[in-house]
Structure 1
Amino acid sequence: MILVSMILKAKGSEVVTVNPGTTMIDALQIMAEKNIGAMIVLDHSKPVGIFSERDFVREIAREQCLMLKLPVESCMTKELYCVTPSSTSDECMAIMTNKHIRHLPVMQGDELVGIISIGDIVKNMIEDKDLLIDNLQNYIFGPSFGR
């Protein structure tokens, strides 16, 4: 069983955040610099939303270029679905699939401790599968198999 805490340990727990008044253009510049697809929106250290590439695309289709100076709170996703470090990757996948989202804030009580993306889940599943295959091959054929 893969836990969120294991994924966070491998990827790091840095979370890029913005406040609700950050303009979308500033948020997009941060996302481009950090090569990320979403940021948690914090108001007084409390998560109040998530601003993602998808939020931007929806808003630009509606408002065109006028919206670049609007604050992220005007188009962020306000309904947050969170996980904890002890959540499993299966639980994360179920939430992401059922809610059609790609990012989950990781909360330890009231504290934001990380963010998990669908890419993190897939990467970890591939690594886990590869390790399982190696272990099975070593068990069946011996440690020198395939080398």
Structure 2
Amino acid sequence: MKTLKQLLAGRNRPLAVVAPSDTVYHALTVMAQHEVGALLVLDGEQLVGIFSERDYARKIILQGKTSKETLVREIMSDRVAYVTPSATLDECMALMTEKRFRHLPVLDDADGVVGMISIGDMVKETISDQKFLIDQLERYIAG
């Protein structure tokens, strides 16, 4: 069973982060630059929340606020579930499905925040694993 440590080892992109004191507009700019749907909110090295497209849609647009005047800390999700690098993809998928969120930070006791996994990452990896298994079974059958 593949772990997050194995999955994250293949990545070379930097973490997409903002500070709680940044404006929502700045956070949206960072999201666009990194082409992601959520950002880690760090106060120094400490994870204090997640800012997502869902937060923006529900807490800015629908409440009539402006992204240039509202700070990330005002609308971020501050109760953050997370996993460690030793978590399996199945464990992450189960947690994300149960809690109904699409982004999950990965924290290590020694290094702090080491990454973030999305439901899209999980689906992509699951499809890749299934394709590999199908190829192996076809080779075995064709033997």
TM tier relative to shorter chain: over 0.9
Change (3 A) 1:55 1:99: same
Unaligned 5+ runs, structure 2: none
Give the TM-score taking structure 1 as reference length.
0.90
- The aligned residue for residue 56 of structure 1 is 56
1:47 aligned counterpart, secondary structure: strand
- The aligned residue for residue 117 of structure 2 is 116
Supply the distance in 2 between the matched residues of 1:43 and 1:35 (Cα, whole angstroms): 22
Question: Where do 1:68-147 residues align within 5 Å?
Answer: 68-109=68-109, 111-142=112-143
Is contact 1:60-1:67 (8 Å) kept? yes
Unaligned 5+ runs, structure 1: 143-147
Is contact 1:48-1:78 (8 Å) kept? yes
**1:106-146 deviation digits (Å, cap 9, x = unpaired):** 0111610010000000000000000000011111113xxxx
1:68 aligned counterpart, secondary structure: coil
Supply the distance in 1 between the matched residues of 2:11 and 2:86 (Cα, whole angstroms): 16
2:116 aligned counterpart, secondary structure: strand
Higher RCO (Cα < 8 Å, 6 or more apart): 1
The yes-or-no answer on 1:40 pairing with 2:40 is yes
**AA in 1 matched with 2:101:** I
Supply the distance in 2 between the matched residues of 1:103 and 1:66 (Cα, whole angstroms): 24
Structure with the larger helix share: 1
**RMSD over aligned Cα, in angstroms?**
1.4
Find runs of 4+ consecutive structure 1 residues off by over 6 angstroms.
Answer: none
